[in-house]
Chains A and B, each alone.
Chain A
Amino acid sequence: MNSFQNAQRGALASIPMIIGGIPFGLLFGSLAAANDLSIWFAVAMSSIVFAGSAQFVALGLIAADAPLWVIILTTFVVNLRHILYAADLLRYVRHLPLKLRLLMGFGLIDETYAAVRPMYDMGSADKSNGHQVYIGSFLSFYLMWNITTIMGVLAGEFIPGLSEWGLEFAMVATFIGIVTPYLKSTPYWGAFAVAVVCSVVFRDMPNQMGLIVATLLAVATGYLLDTKASNKKAKEPARV
């Protein structure tokens, strides 16, 4: 398979999430317009910052006349989870030239991580072609995000009832489709259960801190159960 076909596979794997992202892009553009922000600002946010949830939070803070440092600090907190993605992907990118890693860092969003990371586990991406799959995923999402931002601004005002269409459910279904193949052993089930309970319990924490806390607790749970299981295995007498 050549690099274009690999990029195509990445884009294909991202389609459900691209559809799920459309209302958010439209909403971002229309909210920016509703707050009397220029089209240049909206486009600069989507094309340069490229950070979905942080962009929405920033709009709210701008509307509330928050100072610059608050906006930047909040952006930092909202995007913290991306450190986990980067750490998890290190093993698949460390052999790549710096230029590619710089580009991939720019495209490290929830959707691309969600679409591409499991492909390494399932064998449909590896060290030789994974970056091409990754770039195909993030470029197709980037294109959608910027086009819908512009459309949202041009539509001028809040698109009526857009948030009630439920297109975002595509993302929920996709993430479930990604998560379920992992649920084969106790440690993964443990991480899953803790993530469900904690994300719901902590959902009202500000700036998506609840998401980060729930994720860390779930990862710790999975790790501890895993360590316990392998210790147990080590203690069992070896069968020869």
Chain B
Amino acid sequence: MSNVELLLIVVGMFLVTYGIRVTLFVGANRAEMPEWLDKALKFVPVSVLTAIIAPMALTNDNGLAVSLLNPWFVGALAALITGLVFKRQLLTISIGVVVFFLMKMVTGN
């Protein structure tokens, strides 16, 4: 690819990426959010963050990997239980990561 083409890729990608991110922010002072939308949006954090990580924790290249031999699954499960019981973020992360790496060492996966 020529340098001009690469430059156009950077510029084009920047325009759509920044456009998506900033458009609503630009009109934020004027925009009126309908009440139903406001109520729906509070479910965005849980929904999107879960949807990002669930496939990482529950699947591998071969498909579903819900197995006690899968460090990703076991680590995520440990973090989930810790989070639900103690509701302390740092503890949740630490336990999840420790369990994950222990499982990786034990299973050699």
Contacts and interface: CB of A to CB of B under 8 A. Distances in A.
Contacts of A106: 18, 21-22
Contacts of B101: 166, 169
Interface residues of B, number: 67
Chain B binding site: helix, strand, loop or mixed by DSSP?
A: helix
Given A172-B96, A179-B46, A218 B51 contact: yes
B79 A177 contact: yes
B44 interface: yes
A220 interface: yes
Interface string A21-61: 00000000000000001100100110011110010001000
Nearest to A71: B9
Interface string B20-51: 11111110110101001111111111111111
B10 A223 contact: no
A86 B6 contact: no
A85 to B, nearest CB: 7
Interface residues of A, number: 89
Contacts of A79: 16-17, 20-21
B50 A199 contact: yes
Chain A binding site: helix, strand, loop or mixed by DSSP?
A: helix
Nearest to B104: A166
A16 B70 CA distance: 22
Interface in B95-109: 96-97, 100-101, 104
Given A83-B24, A195-B54, A203-B55, A173 B79 contact: yes
B89 interface: yes
B14 A48 contact: yes
A85 B17 CA distance: 13
B22 A102 contact: yes
Contacts of B72: 166, 169, 172
Nearest to A102: B22
B50 A192 contact: yes
A173 B76 contact: yes
A176 B45 contact: no
Interface in A154-186: 166, 168-183
Interface in A49-90: 49-51, 54, 58, 62, 65, 68, 71-72, 75-76, 79-90
23 contacts: A49-B14, A80-B20, A83-B20, A87-B41, A87-B44, A90-B33, A98-B26, A101-B22, A101-B26, A118-B45, A169-B72, A169-B75, A169-B101, A170-B93, A171-B53, A173-B75, A174-B93, A178-B49, A180-B80, A192-B46, A198-B51, A215-B51, A219-B47
